[in-house]
């Protein structure tokens, strides 16, 4: 078991390093001299001369190799950088240095810390709803398998799955917030300051995420439970007169929930990394909206690259935790 965990940790570290190299090359060198040109063009019409562009390239280090630039950037993540060129000025970027935003001139790390509470609050609330609701609907469908109620539940999940998420979110915002005024229109309130207000403002986004994502969990849980209900020990318990609900929720659901939790771990990391549409529609100031706003002119590559990198790290860490958790539940995984 210990060897398996060590191998998975080392593999995850390697994946993070390769991801950081990919992100760096893609956003800083794969686009030619565009980062330097972005800064140069911000000087104003007619001021971005060839000499000025060359000067900015030298100050940003674009006259040196990719390996050198990546080394400087990677070192800055751990020890910081003293001279980061932004908009004609040099800034100090303390560790962990992910760069300086071209639009705000703040360190990307400081902005990242401000945005993540909203994204985490959104993801935790939505994920909790779709996990609980999906497992409950799946268990009930398995309990009533073959009946009209089973067909209605499964059919409903298929219909909801066929509707694009952004359309559900947009319609919910228009009708439930703007017209009927059941929920606040937009925004986010920090949970540390007023939990009640946070719940009120986030309830509609949570419900949209929960209802649209619970469908796959319902079908998966139903399939797992139907398979488990055909096991010999379940039939034995039923033949001994154990109550149906006790067999269903204590024995069958316990056996079926393990793969569901495994999928949930991966989905949650993906949700943390991909709440762009939700945050944009409901005007929640989180990582997704922050990254999307960075695409405006001039493109803030420091912010975009940091958002992609941190999201990738979250997914790698979630995979690692899921593998370790699963290895404790099923030791055969660590042997394979």
pLDDT at 297: 62
Spatial CA neighbour of 206 closest among 278, 119, 126, 286: 126
Confirm if 270 and 315 have CB atoms less than 8 A apart: yes
- Whole-number Å distance between alpha carbons of 248 and 238: 10
3-state secondary structure 114-152: HHHHHHHHHHHHHHHHHHHHHHHHHHHHHHCCCCHHHHH
Distances (CA, A) of 156 to 30, 37, 52, 317: 46, 52, 61, 34
- Whole-number Å distance between alpha carbons of 260 and 249: 15
- Whole-number Å distance between alpha carbons of 290 and 335: 42
Spatial CA neighbour of 195 closest among 117, 130, 285: 117
pLDDT at 315: 82
Alpha helices in the chain (DSSP H): 2-24, 34-41, 50-60, 66-79, 108-143, 148-162, 165-172, 195-229, 232-239, 244-246, 253-273, 276-281, 287-293, 301-329, 332-335
pTM of the model: 0.79
46: left (phi > 0), else alpha (psi -120 to 50), else beta? Answer: left
pLDDT at 252: 79
Confirm if 287 and 115 have CB atoms less than 8 A apart: yes
- Whole-number Å distance between alpha carbons of 301 and 289: 15
Confirm if 142 and 226 have CB atoms less than 8 A apart: yes
Confirm if 226 and 145 have CB atoms less than 8 A apart: yes
pLDDT at 175: 92
pLDDT at 227: 86
For residue 135, how many other CB atoms are within 10 A of its CB? 24
Q: How deeply is 141 buried, as exposed, middle or buried, from its count of CB atoms within 10 A (0-12, 13-18, 19+)?
A: buried
- Whole-number Å distance between alpha carbons of 45 and 54: 17
Per-residue confidence of the chain (336 residues) as pLDDT tens digits?
A: 778 888 888 998 999 899 889 888 887 765 555 667 767 777 777 777 888 778 877 777 777 888 888 888 889 889 988 878 776 778 889 988 988 887 888 999 999 988 888 888 998 899 999 999 999 999 899 888 889 999 998 889 889 888 888 889 889 999 998 899 888 877 778 878 888 888 888 999 999 999 998 998 999 899 888 888 888 888 888 788 788 778 877 777 877 777 787 788 778 877 776 677 788 888 888 888 888 888 776 677 788 888 888 888 888 888 888 778 777 766 665 555
Q: Is the peptide bond before 298 cis (omega within 30 degrees of 0)?
A: yes
Q: Which residue has the tokens 């990546």?
A: 70
285: left (phi > 0), else alpha (psi -120 to 50), else beta? Answer: beta
- Whole-number Å distance between alpha carbons of 311 and 10: 19
Spatial CA neighbour of 123 closest among 191, 183, 205: 205
pLDDT at 210: 92
């Amino acid at each position: 078991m210990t060897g398996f965990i060590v191998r998975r940790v080392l593999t995850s570290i390697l994946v993070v390093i390769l991801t950081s190299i990919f992100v760096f090359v893609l956003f800083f060198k794969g686009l030619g001299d565009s980062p330097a040109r972005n800064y140069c063009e911000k000087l104003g019409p007619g001021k971005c001369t060839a000499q000025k562009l060359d000067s900015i390239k030298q100050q940003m280090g674009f006259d040196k190799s990719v390996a050198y630039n990546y080394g400087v950037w990677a070192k800055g993540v751990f020890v910081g950088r003293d001279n980061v060129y932004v908009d004609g000025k040099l800034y100090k970027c303390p560790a962990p240095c992910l760069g300086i935003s071209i639009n705000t001139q703040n360190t990307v790390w400081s902005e990242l810390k401000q945005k993540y509470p909203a994204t985490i609050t959104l993801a935790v609330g939505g994920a909790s709803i779709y996990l609980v609701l999906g497992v409950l609907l799946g268990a009930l469908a398995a309990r009533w398998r073959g009946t009209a109620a089973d067909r209605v539940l499964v059919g409903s999940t298929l219909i909801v799955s066929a509707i694009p998420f952004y359309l559900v979110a947009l319609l919910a915002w228009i009708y439930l917030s703007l017209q009927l005024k059941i929920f606040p229109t937009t925004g986010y309130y920090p949970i540390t300051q007023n939990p009640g207000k946070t719940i009120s403002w986030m309830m509609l986004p949570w419900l949209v995420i929960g209802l649209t994502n619970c469908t796959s969990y319902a079908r998966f849980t139903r399939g797992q439970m139907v398979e488990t209900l055909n096991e010999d020990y379940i039939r034995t318990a039923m033949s001994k007169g154990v109550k149906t609900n006790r067999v269903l929720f204590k024995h069958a659901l316990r056996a079926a929930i393990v793969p569901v939790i495994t999928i949930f771990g991966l989905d949650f990391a993906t949700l943390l990394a991909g709440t762009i549409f939700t945050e944009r529609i409901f005007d929640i100031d989180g990582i997704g909206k922050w990254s999307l706003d960075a695409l405006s002119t001039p493109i803030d590559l420091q912010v975009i690259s940091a958002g992609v990198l941190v999201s990738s790290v979250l997914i790698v860490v979630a995979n690692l935790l899921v593998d370790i958790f699963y290895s404790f539940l099923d030791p055969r995984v660590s042997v394979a």
